[in-house]
Amino acid sequence: MEQHIRPADIERTSMSIIREELERMDIHLPPETEAVVRRVIHTTADFDYARNLCFTPGAVELGVAALRRGTPIITDTNMTRAGVSAPGLEKLGSRVACYMADPEIARLARERGTTRAAASMERASREEPGAILAVGNAPTALLEIVRQMELGFRPGLVIGVPVGFVNVVEAKEQLLSACRRMEVPAIVALGRKGGSNVAAAICNALIYTATDMLDPVKRGWN
């Protein structure tokens, strides 16, 4: 059995395996979404994402363009924030933020009788117009994004991939419908699957595309 030690070799071999398995499954990914889907499968080892990741027209291209303008990413979990490529963001002049630990967000959530995730997205709509919103945990965050969009907020891209059993499927479908109707770019994992790692993987696929870092060697990996 061939042994791979260097990170670049491991990633390249993993991506090759993913490509071969998709071919055996007779799944042919559109070129414009391939990097995102493959990155999510690489992160999760779950090929269901080849079918359940849904993209509005031009979502990847618009997300990449937004990052190249230095558009910030706002996420609903510190796990996603920690998983997003810091070197890639630095190259783009962008940043990633999570408001969940902010005492002001906790206070606002208590006053409104909602979740901190929802309060975080309300704050993002006020302070970061045009931001990329990456939601990997809380369906209430998606519902708040929809509410803010109805009030005129237009994010640069919404990544809606929360995981779970309660209101998750419905919130994702509502978000996708609203984004299609209002022509807001979106990447959504339909169904129950998702998570903070998936949100981070999608962000990284976009960042690596924007910085020409899809090849791990270009990220400085040996």
Catalytic residue set: 42
User: Which amino acid belongs to residue 75?
Assistant: T
Q: Which residues make Cβ contacts (< 8 Å) with residue 73, sequence separation at least 6?
A: 84, 89, 94, 95, 96, 97, 131, 132, 133, 134, 203
Q: Which residue, chain included where needed, has tokens 């606002």?
A: 108
93 — phi, psi (to 5°)? Answer: 70, 30
SS3 77: coil
Backbone phi and psi for residue 17, each to the nearest 5 degrees, phi listed first: -65, -45
Task: Provide the token pair at 186.
Answer: 């979106």
Decide: residue 95, CB within 10 A, 0-12 exposed, 13-18 middle, 19+ buried.
middle
> How would you label 16-36 residue by residue, b for 16+ Cβ within 10 Å and e otherwise?
eebeeebeeeeeebeeebbbb
Q: 208 and 201 in contact (C-beta within 8 Å)?
A: no
Give the Cβ contact number of residue 141 at 10 Å: 32
Nearest-5° Cα angle at 67, 63 to 72: 105
Q: Which two tokens stand for residue 140?
A: 């209430």
